[in-house]
Structure 1
Amino acid sequence: MIAEKNLIVNSDKENLLAELDKSLNECVSFYFSVAFVNFSGIQLLLDSLKAAEERGVKGKIITSTYLNFTDAKALERLAAFRNIELKVFITDKEMGFHTKAYIFEYDDYFKIIIGSSNITQSALKSNVEWNVQVIAKEEAQFVRKVMYEYQNLWAHATTATTAFIRHYEDFLKSLKRDRPAVYAIYENNEYILPNRMQREAIENLTRLRNYGAKRALVIAATGTGKTYMAAFHVKNDRPRRLLFVVHREEIVRKAKETFQKLLPNTHYTFGLLTGTSKEVEADYIFATVQTLSQWMHHFQPDHFDYIVLDEAHHATSPSYQKVLDYFTPAFMLGMTATPERCDHGNVFEVFDHNIALEVRLHDALAEDLIIPFHYFGITDVDTIDLSTIEIDNIAEITKRLKVNERVDFIIEKMRFYGHDGDKRKCLGFCASIEHALYMAEQFNARGLPSLCLSGGHSVKERNEAIVRLENEEDPLQFIFTVDIFNEGVDIPSVNLVLMLRPTNSPVVFIQQLGRGLRRHETKTFLTVLDFIGNHNKAFLVAMALNGNRYYDKKSLKVAIVTKFANVPGCTHIVMDRIAQERILEQIDAENFHSMKYLREAYTEFKKLNGGHTPYYLVDYLKYDGAPDPLSFVSREKSYLHFVAKVEKEEQLKRYLSDVRLEGALKELSSMLPIKRIHEFVIAHYLLSHEQISLQVAQQEIEKYVKHSDHDTIVHAMECLNQNYYDSGQKKVKPKLFSLQSGVLRKTPLFKELVENPIYSTYIEDIIQYGMFRYEKIFKEKPYGIPHLKRYEQYQMADAALLSNYRKTHSSFRGSGLLTNGKEYFLYIDLHKEEHVKESLQYKDTFLDERHFQWQSVNNTTQQSERGQNIIHNEARGVHLHLFIRKYSKLDGKTEPFIYIGKGNTIAYEGEKPITVTLELEYEVPTSLYNEFILPV
């Protein structure tokens, strides 16, 4: 008799890999029969297979040669386990082999999973797969039949001996050599379509152009198709003359090929302007900046309608500035993966602060623009103690890391986890040059060809080393370095990254990780081995991997416990038990709001900024993984106040002693992070204009959002006019704007402040940062009224602003239910404070991802108007908006609520309070649901 059935699919809730891991760690024996096995899938199972081996659990695995898809490396790795018997079913033209079965034996039952998934990273984690799981007693007819068929296959399969695997490997190599183009894909250039990232950039660029923007910047990770995106937009825009500028000749030629591919059969001519080619009569010219700076006077300043600047972080360098100062195109597009590498000045200013798109690491993973990575967080050898050392004491850290036992441990783990591809191509990131030299020396001594590269080596030496590493025939396998490969260096075929130093910055960690994520024909994933010691900032690696710039203690802990399930695609992140426990303990002990923690985060960021004081909020937009500067704002009421306190800079203190500037900075900072862009767009316009009308305001706002209704614009102007401040607020807050007869003007105070060039930069910085951050989170979508985005963070008073509430906004607090007409806002704490009276301990809880139980305030009856509106909300046209948080405070700081959308009452009972079951319009995403319900 069958006891239990279940369908396992790959989704944000579950995947087959998780079920296989769980089963391998609990069963007494296992039997697999899968048509295809490749190393990308086996690597994900290595830890569970090793644990099974250590428990003495025996396993049998059958795979096949069907379609020659199984790879020899996977067979070799499986054969190395002492507890696994491995066989291969040899297929021929008449007989294929397509089974996908995973059988687990327990003391008194069997678990059998049969479906569509082979052992590949995609099949186990991300592909659309259906796998049926059946749990039944051994005597059940289904179990007996499955085991009979398995034993029959086992009897007809060939044992995977070392000789067999070698022979099969040689056969696969001969196939690859004789038919190298077997996997080529036919492309019709007319039908190459932009991916989602490229479509979004094109839409945003079109909108910016329609509203008169002259320049815009696209920020996207290396390998995400920026050149294709530019070519797609040019194809839509059809400029008469185009100039594409880069700093390396090989990139120029590739860019020209891309544009020619996407614009076939047009009347445009394409030419090169480089050291070796001077095709200056062409319509579309692709130039190196070095040659262009010498030849630019051959053209009139307005000769080009459209200019593309690749590697736009160089735009502030003298050679680029020379070009930019000369030409006056109708539009200029900048593209960069690393805005932080700006040579001098601020690259955002060069492009008028118009960001058409920002695609950082986790965005690129979600869009499948880069390859996935398999990260293994490994507890370092216990003989190395870093717990008593300051993280920036590099000399002492180096001394303690230079241990032969650790080198052997690193090599052991490296061999256990392996890598994708034939030749190992590894970057090892070290604590210092001395440490890198030591690692290279020790690896060479153990027969692993290695070298050390540092900033002291010439560009020529670095390039030669990179060429050697990428060459399949060259013996070089390892380059040990410190920071020179953090960003801006392209080594596409790197398939292994070793993190050999304590992580002291999420930014640096992401930069180093990114070195191996470029797509390349020799790999399908990147292996990352991170050796996590007991230094007191080990939790920083969790921040980097989590991928959320804005996090709190509980969300970080949930990410660790759930193995970073929020990270998309085939990326796999796992930390061993000791490393996980150590990091969780550190997070518990750390106060992310303390001045000590914030000062350390700021100081580390300053180092990344070349040691220069980051005076502006927009500085933090340059780096993927940068700290959230609003934590600094929250501490001192404005970012400049925080910098002045940390730096003890007298000049800043003098500026802030001017009560006019101090008040304006605090007033604008109090609006961050903005949840509606209208106010800041209007304020930005008034930096350089005396007044703004409703009509002009709408034109300006619609540069950023697709549609803005009249009433919301009026409400935004009224808010800037302080219509909805209470009397106490009006006494202490400076009045920067004045509304009269539908026109908003600068007050004399604001006019004086923005006429001061120094004061103006600090004020503009707050406004620009608010707008940048808004665009990143909310994009151009109009959310209606109330202007709420699901799963974003909100405070109570935000609902007053976002629903165009026409009374004092500070009154929106202090109650679990607040209303504006038929908009009902439910504010819910899942865990009540211990001091709250039992009578107020409402039984608010998730029933599942789609249903929530909520209790009204104690005095609400079913027959009251409010009670009727709640229990019959749909019929009465009442919208119930749910805002939920796990705790009201963490580390002494008030937590924001998460908006989970609207819900409708489907059941109710009792009164004073009424207990209501709400069905949510949208199911809560698994990662967020886990944050709410997991007890961490």
Structure 2
Amino acid sequence: MTERLLINGGTEHLLKELTSSLETCERFYFGVAFLTYSGAQLLLDTLKEAGERGKSGRILSSTYLNFTDPEAVARLSAFPFIDTKMFNSEENGGFHTKTYIFEYKEHYKIIIGSSNLTRAALKTNVEWNVEIISKKDESFVQQVLTEYQTLWNRSQIPTEDFLDHYRSIYRSTRQVKERQQSLHTLPAYIAPNSMQSRAMKSLERLRSLGENKALVIAATGTGKTYMAAFDVQKLQPKRLLFLVHREDILVKAKETFSHLLHQQHSFGMMTGSRKDIGADYLFANIRTMANHYSQFDPAHFDYIVYDEAHHTTAPQYQQVMKHFHPAFALGMTATPERSDEASVFEVFDHNVAAEVRLHDALKDEIIAPFHYFGITDVDGIRLDDVAPNDQAELSRRLQVHFRVEHILTNMYFYKHDGAVRRGLGFCVNIDHAVYMADAFSQAGVPSVALTGDDPALERKKMIEKLEDEHDPLEFIFTVDIFNEGVDIPSVNLVLMLRPTESPIVFIQQLGRGLRKHPGKEFLTVLDFIGNHNRAFLVAIALNGSRYYDKESLKVAVATDFATVPAPVHIQMDRIAKERIIAQIDQESFFSMKYLKEAYLQFKQIRNGKAPSALMDYFTYDGAPDPIPFIEKSGSYLHFLAKVEKNDLFQIPFEEKSSELVYKSLSSHLPLKRPHEFALLDALMTKDKLTREDAEAAILHWLDTVPPSSVAHAMNTVAQQYMDKREQQRSPALAEWQHDCLVRTEHFTHLLESRDNYERLHDVIEYGLHRYERDFGSADHGLPFLKVGAQYQMKDAALLSNFSKTHSSFRGSGLLANEKDYFLYVDLHKDADVAERLNYHDEFLDRSTFLWDSPNNMTPDSLRGRNIMEHEARGYRLHLFVRKYKSIEGNRTEPFIYVGELTVVEASGSRPIQFRMHLKQPLPSILYKELTEKV
């Protein structure tokens, strides 16, 4: 008999164990108190495949506390090879069993513990389950089987009559629970969610630095309005102005604020038909305020909130903003879109209090999770020879009846969560949307097509019908009018019916169904993956990583996207997986062809407007990473000149030195620490910085910074650690004078040109905002290293305050700066190198690493003793690894920092074989990416 503990955490969870057991067992027997559709849906494919292989099983649940979802019972009962029963707790008492039994030819696997058959219990909850594998004749096994059979005999088959009766009880119970939960919507019970808490903390920090403006970027449905209300509740301004672009948002915002703060202030509105000018807290649309702002004293409002803040660059908003001078102004937006006039970041002085994109919101569970199923499209429809922009031909080929049948079959198979179906279908073009709406309606699923050609009132009416649970309308088929800015909380099913050509559009469409809503635990997403050439783009969209390469993307697909936050479930069928992995293998993500396609697709999403600045890539969740563009061409503008072959985009540098500075700054992206760019940002408006000024500039981006790092950053900007060749490639922007960092005459001269100023500022701004987005404001100490971040060898010189020429910081895998040793390891070496050097560097598990020292190291050498006795001698060991030295051609891969090590044992000489322990276990997701082979 063998035992082990099963828990949910990282990439491991009970669902994984259940699916693998169902794939290998002869029969199965489940007994769970609670069964929900969120849990049942995750097993549908595995159960179907088990049945096709001739397996059979039993699933026993209960009516205990009326928690089990009758629709989940009905769905599982529909499998002819599964017998289902319900333990009637009203007659037989409480039922709290959680047992999963798998029968094999010679043994049983029995899992007993705390997990019911719900999504949370299978993937995310803190659960303890014990797995026992034992021979069939063991007394323990026989006792479990006997008890299971006893419960089975006492339970009833869920006939239609039984389920109908139970459904009415279940609905009544849910309604009571919803009323009980409504108590927590009373002001005294409302508490900030994780995003709101982070944003408020950041707002407090910015105000402590003397800032009077800030911007919050957060996905739809994450609670931006409540966040603003919480901050206002904390500050208690005497007068508040809340400005919006759309009047429907105005009413909701006023309701939110008055609900939370109703006892403390008077509330009013300012619209075309109503002007409550005397109210303490005034909610106004911009059109009305733009006509009446002169009635107010500039200091009338203490706090102003600009909702949909990406509109604040428009002239109407600018007039209002220039008139008022509040103590604090807060901008909120889901899309910080850059206009021709200015950047929304500039409007709010580049103070980003929080940035919460889709994957962040999913991780924090502040929006509804989704269950994504990637389904191989029907045979017989060829898409690989259709040009991506030939929508008419693409639409024509997809308008076939047997594809509609395939879509409906899968829709009925996976179903949805919620009492009534409320779906969106995203199509290729208007013809396709109309065709799908007609076909669904004829199949008994009432549907309409909505496009940009329909009047706004008609669209509003159809959305209201879809939101009405008593209306027969079940589906809206559309092209792209619901990509962003439309809020339909009740949507519980999304059909992706067009080839994914852009991660941005995919994420926008996915986001339309992620608003939380009573009765909806999760969103079901069915994506029909055809044989088009860029099917792999859906993997990029789903993965959500800040960076990716072929290997990490293949691992993500092969492991059902284990890197994505656990509340989400992503599953692709075998053919779709194989197709996407094959495409990833064939694609060169750093070829000019691929980069140009990514750029042009992004340009198309921006309605054909060329993204002329790096900050344009901050606008959309899922936008391409511009760093490969820079790596390919030396700078973003040089890449732009290659792609946009017209005079407008040819490099407009007036002098060679300005081009050198621009390329030099670009080469530092993405930033490894914000210190130097924070100083350069300050020097764009100040001609000199004292140490106090420099510290203040860095503290704009970090919570704390040690004086030694401030001094090192000032020296770095003054080129103290550059060799002569580097200094020639990068004209100096600052120098030391009287213990101050002073802007050079050359830098001052460059800034006199508006074009130069905007180009350099764009690089600096992008570097700082990207750093903040990726790593936040935490001070990571010294060395300034982040687990999971990517580095080149010499980055450790900068991050450990190396006070000599940084270009000298290189070697054969082991570098040192004072009391820090840096180990650089290629996990998979070329066969000839591995044989010649006889290195065996590898992870044994998440906490244990085997490392062979450089070939010349002996136990008696100074370095050997320092490493072997590092704790006693006060040395720290830092490990950097990469899976392969290169993946695509001659492009050298960066290393990933995995943390500090302690030596457990050492043996041998030339090289020394070390067994080391990571002080913090490697995050399971990172461990899988580094060790999994596809």
Q: Same fold (TM over 0.5)?
A: yes
* 1:76-117 alpha-carbon deviations (Å, 9 max, x no partner): 101110101111111127711111111111111111111111
720-729 or 533-542: bigger deviation: 720-729
Distance (Å, rounded) in 1 between the aligned partners of 2:16 and 2:594: 35
Distance (Å, rounded) in 1 between the aligned partners of 2:508 and 2:39: 26
| Correspondence 1:741 to 2:738 | yes
Name the amino acid aligned to 2:414.
Y
Q: What does residue 929 of structure 2 align with? A: 931
753-762 or 249-258: bigger deviation: 249-258
Counterpart of 2:899 (choices 898, 901, 922) is 901
Residues 215 and 330 of structure 2 are in contact (CA less than 8 Å); yes or no, is this contact kept in structure 1?
yes
Distance (Å, rounded) in 2 between the aligned partners of 1:379 and 1:10: 30
Distance (Å, rounded) in 1 between the aligned partners of 2:420 and 2:834: 66
Kindly state the Cα deviation for residue 437 of structure 1 after the two structures are TM-superposed. 1.1
* 1:597-622 alpha-carbon deviations (Å, 9 max, x no partner): 00000000111122111010010011
Name the amino acid aligned to 2:195.
M
Q: What does residue 315 of structure 1 align with? A: 312
Q: What does residue 413 of structure 2 align with? A: 416
Q: What does residue 120 of structure 1 align with? A: 118
| Correspondence 1:888 to 2:885 | yes
Distance (Å, rounded) in 1 between the aligned partners of 2:764 and 2:176: 61
Residues 338 and 344 of structure 2 are in contact (CA less than 8 Å); yes or no, is this contact kept in structure 1?
no
Residues 189 and 264 of structure 1 are in contact (CA less than 8 Å); yes or no, is this contact kept in structure 2?
no
Name the amino acid aligned to 1:141.
S
Kindly state the Cα deviation for residue 177 of structure 1 after the two structures are TM-superposed. 6.6
Counterpart of 2:595 (choices 590, 595, 598) is 598
Q: What is the SS of the residue equivalent to 1:62?
A: strand
Residues 549 and 625 of structure 1 are in contact (CA less than 8 Å); yes or no, is this contact kept in structure 2?
no
Q: What does residue 207 of structure 1 align with? A: 205
1:185-584 correspondence runs (5 A): 185-186=183-184, 189-190=187-188, 192-263=190-261, 265-266=263-264, 268-340=265-337, 345-584=342-581
**Distance change in 2, residues 1:238/1:171 (3 Å):** closer
Counterpart of 1:853 (choices 846, 850, 855) is 850
417-426 or 257-266: bigger deviation: 257-266
Distance (Å, rounded) in 2 between the aligned partners of 1:727 and 1:515: 55
Residues 183 and 189 of structure 2 are in contact (CA less than 8 Å); yes or no, is this contact kept in structure 1?
no
Residues 681 and 761 of structure 2 are in contact (CA less than 8 Å); yes or no, is this contact kept in structure 1?
yes
Kindly state the Cα deviation for residue 626 of structure 1 after the two structures are TM-superposed. 0.7
Residues 67 and 170 of structure 2 are in contact (CA less than 8 Å); yes or no, is this contact kept in structure 1?
no
TM-score (structure 1 length as normaliser) = 0.97
Q: What is the SS of the residue equivalent to 2:90?
A: coil
* 1:397-437 alpha-carbon deviations (Å, 9 max, x no partner): 11111111101000000000000112111110011111111
**Structure 2, gaps ≥5 residues long:** none
TM-score (structure 2 length as normaliser) = 0.97
343-352 or 302-311: bigger deviation: 343-352
Distance (Å, rounded) in 2 between the aligned partners of 1:922 and 1:179: 42
Residues 317 and 343 of structure 1 are in contact (CA less than 8 Å); yes or no, is this contact kept in structure 2?
no
Distance (Å, rounded) in 1 between the aligned partners of 2:205 and 2:177: 47
Distance (Å, rounded) in 1 between the aligned partners of 2:394 and 2:263: 61
Residues 315 and 342 of structure 1 are in contact (CA less than 8 Å); yes or no, is this contact kept in structure 2?
no
Q: What is the SS of the residue equivalent to 1:422?
A: coil
* 1:12-40 alpha-carbon deviations (Å, 9 max, x no partner): 14111111111111111111111111111
Q: What does residue 57 of structure 1 align with? A: 55
Kindly state the Cα deviation for residue 685 of structure 1 after the two structures are TM-superposed. 1.1
Q: What does residue 792 of structure 2 align with? A: 795
Kindly state the Cα deviation for residue 248 of structure 1 after the two structures are TM-superposed. 3.6
* 1:828-848 alpha-carbon deviations (Å, 9 max, x no partner): 111123453734242111121
Residues 499 and 528 of structure 1 are in contact (CA less than 8 Å); yes or no, is this contact kept in structure 2?
yes
Distance (Å, rounded) in 1 between the aligned partners of 2:440 and 2:582: 34
Residues 313 and 343 of structure 1 are in contact (CA less than 8 Å); yes or no, is this contact kept in structure 2?
no
Q: What does residue 869 of structure 1 align with? A: 866
726-735 or 467-476: bigger deviation: 726-735
| Correspondence 1:720 to 2:714 | no
Q: What does residue 85 of structure 1 align with? A: 83
Q: What is the SS of the residue equivalent to 1:340?
A: coil
Name the amino acid aligned to 2:413.
F
182-191 or 844-853: bigger deviation: 182-191
Distance (Å, rounded) in 2 between the aligned partners of 1:655 and 1:195: 47
1:22-41 correspondence runs (5 A): 22-41=20-39
794-803 or 183-192: bigger deviation: 183-192
Q: What is the SS of the residue equivalent to 1:861?
A: coil
Q: What is the SS of the residue equivalent to 2:735?
A: strand
* 1:864-922 alpha-carbon deviations (Å, 9 max, x no partner): 11111000100100010111111111102111111111101111001111111111110
Q: What is the SS of the residue equivalent to 1:203?
A: helix
Residues 314 and 343 of structure 1 are in contact (CA less than 8 Å); yes or no, is this contact kept in structure 2?
no
Q: What is the SS of the residue equivalent to 1:223?
A: coil
Distance (Å, rounded) in 2 between the aligned partners of 1:332 and 1:173: 45
Distance (Å, rounded) in 1 between the aligned partners of 2:831 and 2:484: 48
CA RMSD of aligned residues (A): 1.7
Kindly state the Cα deviation for residue 537 of structure 1 after the two structures are TM-superposed. 0.5
- How many residues are matched? 933
* 1:120-159 alpha-carbon deviations (Å, 9 max, x no partner): 1111111111111111111110111111111111111111
* 1:589-642 alpha-carbon deviations (Å, 9 max, x no partner): 111110000000000011112211101001001111111100100001100100
**Distance change in 2, residues 1:286/1:5 (3 Å):** same
**Distance change in 2, residues 1:344/1:749 (3 Å):** closer
Name the amino acid aligned to 1:202.
M
Kindly state the Cα deviation for residue 362 of structure 1 after the two structures are TM-superposed. 0.6
Distance (Å, rounded) in 2 between the aligned partners of 1:451 and 1:471: 15
Q: What does residue 696 of structure 1 align with? A: 693
Distance (Å, rounded) in 1 between the aligned partners of 2:933 and 2:75: 38
* 1:226-279 alpha-carbon deviations (Å, 9 max, x no partner): 11211222222232321111234443333233333434654x333322344432
Residues 901 and 921 of structure 1 are in contact (CA less than 8 Å); yes or no, is this contact kept in structure 2?
yes
**Distance change in 2, residues 1:603/1:187 (3 Å):** closer
Distance (Å, rounded) in 2 between the aligned partners of 1:100 and 1:684: 59
Residues 39 and 71 of structure 1 are in contact (CA less than 8 Å); yes or no, is this contact kept in structure 2?
yes
Distance (Å, rounded) in 2 between the aligned partners of 1:171 and 1:848: 49
Residues 416 and 493 of structure 2 are in contact (CA less than 8 Å); yes or no, is this contact kept in structure 1?
yes
Residues 847 and 853 of structure 1 are in contact (CA less than 8 Å); yes or no, is this contact kept in structure 2?
yes
Q: Percent identity?
A: 53
Distance (Å, rounded) in 1 between the aligned partners of 2:340 and 2:161: 56
* 1:703-750 alpha-carbon deviations (Å, 9 max, x no partner): 111112222122112212222122222233322222233222222222
Residues 620 and 627 of structure 1 are in contact (CA less than 8 Å); yes or no, is this contact kept in structure 2?
yes
Distance (Å, rounded) in 2 between the aligned partners of 1:523 and 1:801: 49
Name the amino acid aligned to 1:67.
L
**Distance change in 2, residues 1:779/1:180 (3 Å):** closer
* 1:344-381 alpha-carbon deviations (Å, 9 max, x no partner): 64322221222111000010011110011000000001
**Distance change in 2, residues 1:746/1:183 (3 Å):** closer
**Distance change in 2, residues 1:834/1:722 (3 Å):** farther
Residues 66 and 169 of structure 2 are in contact (CA less than 8 Å); yes or no, is this contact kept in structure 1?
no
**Structure 1, gaps ≥5 residues long:** none
Name the amino acid aligned to 2:597.
E
Q: What does residue 616 of structure 2 align with? A: 619
Distance (Å, rounded) in 1 between the aligned partners of 2:190 and 2:683: 44
Kindly state the Cα deviation for residue 179 of structure 1 after the two structures are TM-superposed. 8.3
**Distance change in 2, residues 1:549/1:407 (3 Å):** same
Distance (Å, rounded) in 2 between the aligned partners of 1:796 and 1:123: 43
Q: What is the SS of the residue equivalent to 2:599?
A: helix
Q: What is the SS of the residue equivalent to 2:870?
A: coil
